[in-house]
Structure 1
Amino acid sequence: MQPTEEQPTKLADTEYPIHELLQKRWSPRVFSEKPIDDDILTQLFEAARWAPSSYNEQPWRFIVARKEDQEAYSKLASVMNEFNEGWAKGAPVLVLALTKTTFDLDGRENPHAAHDLGQAIAHLTFEATRHDLYVHQMAGISPERAKNIYDLPENITPKTMFAIGHKGNPESLDEKLQQQETSPRKRKKLDNIVFDGEWKNN
């Protein structure tokens, strides 16, 4: 069965009101074959460009592959581990996210680069949600393979990958992934992550 985008959105069941884009955002593992308009895709990276960063270094870098460019797409897909490659290759766009680990100003190590990359991807993700697109981020990649494939400089570090696309049909997944795709979203309670004035062990 071909994936479709006619699937209900898994809205977050929040304890307190939050913006609808935050409530709507989630990470599906199945995408439709519908391509993403180039202008919309550019807007996503424009949103990432305007994320905050330490000393305004903007240490994020992205390698993007569209499915219609099969050579570039297969090359980037090979950076994922086997599990992620199994489902993510259905997405119309794959992205490798990297950090520049040294400051432009003086060449010192930038210890905040990964944090800043995360902020840039968050900006991109919420801009994607605004356009009814979905982003699934993946830690399961081979940084060494990426370094070799793309001949990366020493101060450029592959960190994560993500897939972008329209929602697809969960019935195209195996039974275990279907259950994950359709089950309610869960989060820890605020009391487990926010502490008033002192540390608490949970």
Structure 2
Amino acid sequence: MIPAIEQRWSPRAFDPVAEVSPEQVGVLLEAARWAASHGNTQPARFLLGYRGDPTFTRILEALRPKNRTWAHRASVLLVGAVVTADERGPLPNTVYGLGLAVQNLVLQAVDLGLVAHQIGGFDKDAVRTAFALPDDAEPVVAIAVGRLGDVADLPEELQARETRPRKRKPLTELVFSGTWGEPAFSGETADEPQHE
């Protein structure tokens, strides 16, 4: 794997004084812009707030309370949204397109020495209202970006989650060949093919 994929994780401990420059954020969003999308429809849109500005505050207020306990320390908060239609009509696979854009953004963050945490726990209606989203725009994910901070700054119940090992299901449970459920690989990684 490329190092950015190996090193990517979703910390909650952000440095509360570190800044992410507009130039760095521009690189992150440029990486998102170059993501693949169905028919090059480019459905991904982003709301961008820097710690201390009104956009950041409105995004933070839309997060679920437990997410607010740590996300307020991030340097940047974003909301990733999709536009669901254009002049040609409804767009296909919009959430897939946003997912690709966000993955590009997150991997670019790793390359820049930053950390990012994608957040599903937020009030989409609050975002819609706070930012006057049109009917054809749907908020999907919030993203905290910044520099890694001290785990001790987190609420106690989150400290253990922050330091536990990363785990993923083995390829034997994820990749099949022949029939559904028949593993294509015999081990944890693709280094051990089941079928020649």
TM-score by shorter chain over 0.5: yes
Q: Give the share of equivalent positions with the same residue, in percent.
A: 34
**Structure 2: how far apart are the matches of 1:116 and 1:176?**
34
SS of corresponding position for 1:78: helix
Aligned with residue 150 of structure 1, among 131, 136, 142:
131
Q: TM-score with structure 2 length normalisation? A: 0.89
Count of matched residue positions in the alignment of Structure 1 and Structure 2: 182
**Structure 1: how far apart are the matches of 2:2 and 2:55?**
36
SS of corresponding position for 2:62: coil
Deviation at 1:34, TM superposition (A): 0.6
CA RMSD of aligned residues (A): 1.4
Aligned with residue 54 of structure 1, among 33, 38, 58:
38
**Structure 2: how far apart are the matches of 1:122 and 1:195?**
24
- Asked whether the 8 Å contact 2:176–2:182 carries over to 1, the reply is no
Q: What does residue 9 of structure 1 align with? A: none
Q: What does residue 59 of structure 2 align with? A: 76
Aligned with residue 67 of structure 1, among 47, 51, 59:
51
Which sections of structure 2, spanning at least 5 residues, go unmatched? 184-196
**Is 1:107 matched with 2:95?**
no
SS of corresponding position for 2:117: strand
SS of corresponding position for 2:106: helix
Q: What does residue 183 of structure 1 align with? A: 164
Which sections of structure 1, spanning at least 5 residues, go unmatched? 1-17
Q: Which has the higher contact order (CA 8 A, sep 6+)?
A: 1
After TM superposition, where is structure 1 displaced by more than 2 Å over at least 4 residues in a row?
none
Q: What does residue 145 of structure 2 align with? A: 164
Q: TM-score with structure 1 length normalisation? A: 0.86
